[in-house]
Amino acid sequence: MKKNWNDKVYGHVRVSVAGRLTEQFINRCVREEITIWNIQRIDKTTITCCILLKDIKKIKPVLKATDCRIHFIERAGLPFLYKKLMSRSGIISGFILFFLALFFLSNIVWRIDINGADPKLEAEIKAILNKMDVHVGAFEFFLPSTEKIESELSSRLNKVTWLGVSKDGTTYHIDLVQKELPKKDKAPGPRHLVATKKAIIHKIFAEKGQPLVEQDQFVKPGQILISGLIGKESAPAPIAAKGKVIGETWYQSETTIPLQSNVKTYTGKTYTKRQLQLFGWNCPLWGLKKKPFKHYDREVTKKPVHFLFWDLPIAYKRIIYREDDENERKLTESQAIQEAKQASYKKLKSQLPLKSKVVSQNIDKRIIKNGKMKLYMHYIVYENIAKPEAIDPVKVKEQIEKHKKEKKDGG
């Protein structure tokens, strides 16, 4: 006989049956398919037995037929337990309240860790976070995503080289690397200033040192512009040359621009869908259209719900559809030239030192081929071409000696 759990789940009762024909009662029960077990004799006219709760209704005609009386002794199983619990509303409401509180507290920010910032910066970060409502005790559901916090923080802080925001359960981690301000240069050792590239000298200011080139002179890279050796040729004193040498330099560029291109533009119309995700199934709350626009971009924000350490399979989802138009853009030749010019100018500017000046730009050549325009440009730029180069004391000594020798020979 298998022990089945039916009686535990559905509930059963223990009854005593009194009457003259108790054996007949048992036989009848079996015939009517009433589940009956644990039958015990109490005295000549009474037996006790267990009966499934769902069979209780069927027992009345059997009792009548065998002239027996029934008396309930014990109730057992889930339905009775449930009934008992229900009558104690305090326990139930306590349970519900406990889980609600646990659920609520699981979705709250408990800590914000900031690693790698000095106290001042930390306070600053906390202030910015506070403005975004990210603080200890905030309900996580309404907070922006970590990516948003990250971009907001890194755009507001300029003392930071790198910044990462991550979330670990109820804790936000903000790791950052602070910019180290460069220490002031030590007094530089003896040096020359030499040319960095081919150029024609436009202007030369020598603060310290001996200028060796003149205006409008052509220089090659590596050529000494301002010498750090001053004084007599026979006994030169090495110093740190300082100054600015503006040279005229030349650049050539090649830019390609398509005359026809497809451009996506947003029309400004948006459509927002709100959904509740349950076990991977999306239950729409707001916005029922399947495809609101013909052409669109989708932006999905998902807010998962937590319980203790787990992500529940429930999430709130917001999908924003932005309608866009795809337009074909045709450029006339002059427009294309304009654009190509701008693009190549930008590219050039990014390569040049900070205080450079583009003096003139000329179009060398332009070719239109396969719907694309190739533009060859020529630029003249004024830029600082000076670069420090340390003076090797050994070389200087050699030079002096050589000089002396020459003098002797001459003398």
Task: Point out which residues bind other proteins (CB under 8 A).
Answer: 1, 22-23, 26-27, 29-31, 33, 36-41, 47, 49
Q: Which is nearer to other proteins, 22 or 227 (CB)?
A: 22
Q: How far is the CB of 110 from other proteins (least distance, A)?
A: 56
Q: How far is the CB of 97 from other proteins (least distance, A)?
A: 44
Q: How far is the CB of 36 from other proteins (least distance, A)?
A: 6
The token pair that represents 28 in the structure block? 């009848």
How many Cβ atoms sit within 10 Å of the Cβ of residue 23? 11
How many Cβ atoms sit within 10 Å of the Cβ of residue 324? 18
Distance CA 403, CA 400 (A): 5
Q: How far is the CB of 16 from other proteins (least distance, A)?
A: 14
Distance CA 378, CA 341 (A): 11
Contact 194, 222 (CB under 8 A): yes
SS3 184: coil
Distance CA 356, CA 196 (A): 14
Instruction: Name residues whose C-beta falls within 8 Å of residue 161's C-beta, 6 or more positions apart in sequence.
Output: 176, 177, 178, 179
Q: Which is nearer to other proteins, 36 or 391 (CB)?
A: 36
Q: How far is the CB of 69 from other proteins (least distance, A)?
A: 18
Q: How far is the CB of 23 from other proteins (least distance, A)?
A: 5
Q: Which is nearer to other proteins, 28 or 192 (CB)?
A: 28
CA neighbor of 188 nearest in space, from 244, 246, 238, 247: 238
Q: Which is nearer to other proteins, 44 or 346 (CB)?
A: 44
Q: How far is the CB of 50 from other proteins (least distance, A)?
A: 10
Q: Side chain identity at 365, as an amino acid letter?
A: K
CA neighbor of 28 nearest in space, from 55, 65, 56: 65
Q: Which is nearer to other proteins, 51 or 257 (CB)?
A: 51
CA neighbor of 12 nearest in space, from 48, 43, 54: 54
Q: How far is the CB of 64 from other proteins (least distance, A)?
A: 19
Distance CA 257, CA 247 (A): 31
SS3 303: strand
The token pair that represents 272 in the structure block? 């927002």
Q: Which is nearer to other proteins, 39 or 312 (CB)?
A: 39
Mode of pairing for the β-strands spanning 171-178 and 111-115: parallel
Q: Which is nearer to other proteins, 35 or 356 (CB)?
A: 35
Q: Which is nearer to other proteins, 40 or 282 (CB)?
A: 40
Distance CA 332, CA 327 (A): 16
Residue 337, CB half-sphere, CA atoms under 13 Å: how many?
13
Q: Side chain identity at 226, as an amino acid letter?
A: I
Q: Which is nearer to other proteins, 47 or 194 (CB)?
A: 47
How many Cβ atoms sit within 10 Å of the Cβ of residue 252? 11
Quote the Cα angle for 244-206-214, to 5°: 90
Q: How far is the CB of 22 from other proteins (least distance, A)?
A: 7
Distance CA 105, CA 141 (A): 12
Q: Which is nearer to other proteins, 47 or 229 (CB)?
A: 47
Q: How far is the CB of 27 from other proteins (least distance, A)?
A: 5
